[in-house]
Chains A and B, each alone.
Chain A
Amino acid sequence: MKILETSGLKKFFYRLQALKGVDLHVEEGELVGLIGPNGSGKTTLFDCITGILKPSGGKVYFKDKDITNFKPDGSYKMGIGRTFQLAQLFPEMTVMENMLLAIQESQGSMLNRLFRIREDDNRNKALSLLEFLKIGHVRDEFAKNLSYGQQKLLDLGMVLMADPELILLDEPLAGVNRSLAVEIVERIRELRKNCGCTFIIIEHDMKVVMDLCERIVVLDYGEKIAEGTPEQIQNNEKVLSAYFGG
C-alpha cells in the first residue's frame, strides 16, 4: 500500500525553482534514500511534505489523503515525523520535557491537556526511548547542554515519541563521529524491525545509503533524475554526471 505520494510537487522562491514537479511514491514499510548534490531540493521536498513550506504547485497524499495544505502540526498528527539537519530542540527545557512535548499534542483535546497532570505512561515511554537511544542518563539536563551527537539522538527520540508511521530523517549522520554514526544506523535498523514504520532518509554518506536503503531516489536541480535499487543507481549515468560531471 502506498503511504506517501507526491505528484508534480513544485516550489518556487521567486524565480528560483527549488522543486520542478517531483513525483515520489513510497510504499508502506519501505526505507527510501533521498540523495542529490547540495541545493538539489531534498530538504525543500521534506519542507513541502511536512507543511513547513507551502508548495507552489502539485499535491501531497498521505495514505491516500490530500495533505498538501496541511500545516506542520496537522501533518504530525496524521503520523509524519521528521528530524532536522541541525537538531531542532527546545534548548531551555530538559531532555525529558523535550520528549514529553513531542507526544502531548497527539493525545486528547486542548482541555484534556490543561487537566492532565499525571503523565506516567508518557514518561515511561520517553525513558525507554531515551534508554534505547543511550541518552537516558542525561534526561534531566537542559537540551542546550547536550553534546552535538546527543542532540541529534534526542531529535530522533522526539520524533519517535508519537509513533509516527512515516519518518523523514534529514541527514541523521551529518557532523556525527564515526562510532555514533554506526550507532545511529544500528538504531534505525532496529526500529524498522520492531515498529514497521516507513523511512525516507536524506544522507550524503553514500556508503551508508547504499548499505541501508532498498530504494534510492536522486534529485538534481529540483528534478527527480533517477530512481531504483542501490545497484541501479550506482551504475546510472545521469547520477554520475550530476555528482561528478555537472
Chain B
Amino acid sequence: MGTFHHDKGELHGITVVVDMKDDRVFVGRCDTILPEGVVLLDGDVHDASEVKYDGTKVTKEAYLANAAKFGVWKKFDRVIVPSDDVASIERLGSM
C-alpha cells in the first residue's frame, strides 16, 4: 500500500549512488533515468578533489562508506546528472 509510479523505471524511488567519470559522486533518490541524464531528488554531491579546511580530502570510498550507514544530508531538491558524465549507477542499500 502506498504511492507507486511503475512507469518511471525500476530505480524510481530508490536511493542510488551515481558515480561520475571525474571526482564527483552523487547520492539521491532516483526519480527517472532519461536519455539526457539521471534525475535525482533530495540528494547530495561529493567532490573527492575538494580540499577541506584541514588540508585533507575525503575519498569517494570514505564518503560512500558513511553514506551507506546513515544516508546523506540533502544538498539539492532536484538535479539532472548528465548521462555522458556518469560512470555507474548503483543502489546505496546494496553497498
Check if A and B associate.
no
